[in-house]
Amino acid sequence: MTPLLLHACCGPCSLEPVRLLRAEGFEPTICWTNPNIQPVSEWQRRLDTLRAWADEVAHVDVIVAGDDRDAWEAAAAPAGFDRERRCRACYALRLAEACRVGRERGFEFVSTTLVVSPYQLFDACGEILSAVAPRFGLTPVWRDFRPFYPEATRESRELGMYRQNYCGCRFSAAEAAIERHEARDARKAAKAAARSAAPQV
Ligand code: SF4
């Protein structure tokens, strides 16, 4: 098996990338570097979930790398609700730290679990990994694991893993809450329209 450093954003998103990369002949070591996750209690909960699964189920090593919250505030937060700009800065920061660790530990290949979630900016993330990895002498392993997201959802539920309902930063928590409210309002409106269209007897 070929060693590969796998940046992981959380436990549920790690399930399928670890399985699929192993099937390709890679042996992943997980690298946790996510200073984007707010509040800190949420960061801890996601890390604990990841570690429990890595130790007890997947038997994969986890490296806890740097989590520079000040750097995240300086690089990503100023973009505010400009999602493309904010997420690009966030990916760049996390993937650079993962690649720094990869170089330090003698890895040749690097990837990220961000490739499994349909909620991430897939092309932007791939572009950034492809640009950052060579700067640290690493080869990016970029796959489209998004078709396996439903399986990751099913399996993580079955394992009783904690599953968050927002990406990580405070902006994403607000965006996700607005989307949930909009969806609820749309459902209510659809029900009201159906009731008023029903024949009166
Ligand atoms: S939405 Fe997610 S990827 Fe984008 S900036 Fe926030 S935490 Fe980072």
* Per-residue tokens: 2: 């070929």
Q: Find where tokens 């961000």 sit.
A: 114
Q: How far is CA 121 from CA 29, 60, 61, 128, 148, in A?
A: 24, 27, 27, 11, 16
Closest CA to 168 of 44, 63, 58: 44
**In the structure, what pLDDT confidence band is assigned to residue 201 with cuts at 50, 70 and 90?**
low
- We report the CATH number of the domain holding residue 174 as 3.40.50.620
Q: Find where tokens 């078709």 sit.
A: 147
Helix, coil or strand: residue 160: coil
Domain range for 48 is 2-197
**In the chain, % of residues over pLDDT 90:** 92
**In the structure, what pLDDT confidence band is assigned to residue 173 with cuts at 50, 70 and 90?**
very high
Tell the residue nearest (CA) to atom 6 of ligand 1: 169
Nearby residues of 169 by Cβ (< 8 Å), 6 or more positions away? 36, 37, 38, 72, 76, 77, 86, 90
Per-residue pLDDT of 56-107, as tens digits, reads 999 999 999 999 999 999 999 999 999 999 999 999 999 999 999 999 999 9
CB 98 within 8 A of CB 62: no
Partners of 139 in the beta sheet?
109
Whether 9 has a binding-site annotation, put simply, is: yes
Q: Is 35 in the pocket of ligand 1 (CB under 6 A)?
A: no
Whether 125 has a binding-site annotation, put simply, is: no
CB atoms near residue 189 (< 10 Å)? 10
Helix 83-104 to helix 170-197 angle (10° resolution) is: 130
Q: Is 113 in the pocket of ligand 1 (CB under 6 A)?
A: no
Q: How far is CA 99 from CA 14, 30, 145, 185, in A?
A: 18, 12, 20, 43
Question: Phi, psi at residue 196, to the nearest 5°?
Answer: -75, -20
DSSP state for residue 55 in the 8-state scheme:
I
Give the position, in ligand 1's atom list, of the atom nearest the Cα of 167.
2
Tell the residue nearest (CA) to atom 1 of ligand 1: 172
Q: What is the mean pLDDT of residues 178-189?
A: 92
Q: Is 171 in the pocket of ligand 1 (CB under 6 A)?
A: yes
Total number of domains constituting the chain: 1
Q: Is 161 in the pocket of ligand 1 (CB under 6 A)?
A: no
